[in-house]
Amino acid sequence: MTKLTIVDARDSRQPGSGADTRGQTVIKPTNLESAVLRAVKEDPFASISEIRHDVAEIDPEFETGWWRIVGILRRRRLLTRRSRFRHARGR
């Protein structure tokens, strides 16, 4: 089987050099995740909107949307308030 690579003449990157990030806002995921986890530990019964507001208060650099917070909580299995409470209690 032959591998076909299409190269755009306007693109200065070499093929296979990584992900395309043009037009996207790049946020350091570890810092945002740690801010979300810190907000969950402070108030495990907060809603996702309240967590988003708390993260913005912790560091104004993290002006992020509701869906990004949901994604972080989903990856960490912290979508339910019960699971967030267990996480805050250290279980």
> Residue 1's pLDDT is what?
58
Q: Is 89 helix (H, G, I), strand (E, B) or coil?
A: helix
d(CA 26, CA 44): 27
pLDDT of residue 37: 92
Predicted TM-score (pTM) of the model is 0.62
pLDDT bin (cut points 50, 70, 90) of residue 63 is confident
Q: What letters, b where the CB count within 10 A reaches 16 and e where it falls short, cover 36-51? A: bbebbeeebebeeeeb
pLDDT tens digit sequence for 67-87: 999 999 999 999 999 999 999
Domain residue ranges in the chain = 29-89
- The pLDDT value recorded for residue 8 is 54
Taking the C-alpha atoms of residue 51 and residue 47, their distance in angstroms, rounded to an integer, is 6
Radius of gyration of the chain (CA): 18
Residue pLDDT, tens place only, 6-61: 655 554 454 555 555 455 444 444 588 998 999 999 999 999 999 999 888 877 77
How high is the pLDDT of residue 28? 45
Residue 18: HSE in the Cβ half-sphere, 13 Å Cα cutoff: 4
Residue 57 host element (H or E): helix 48-58
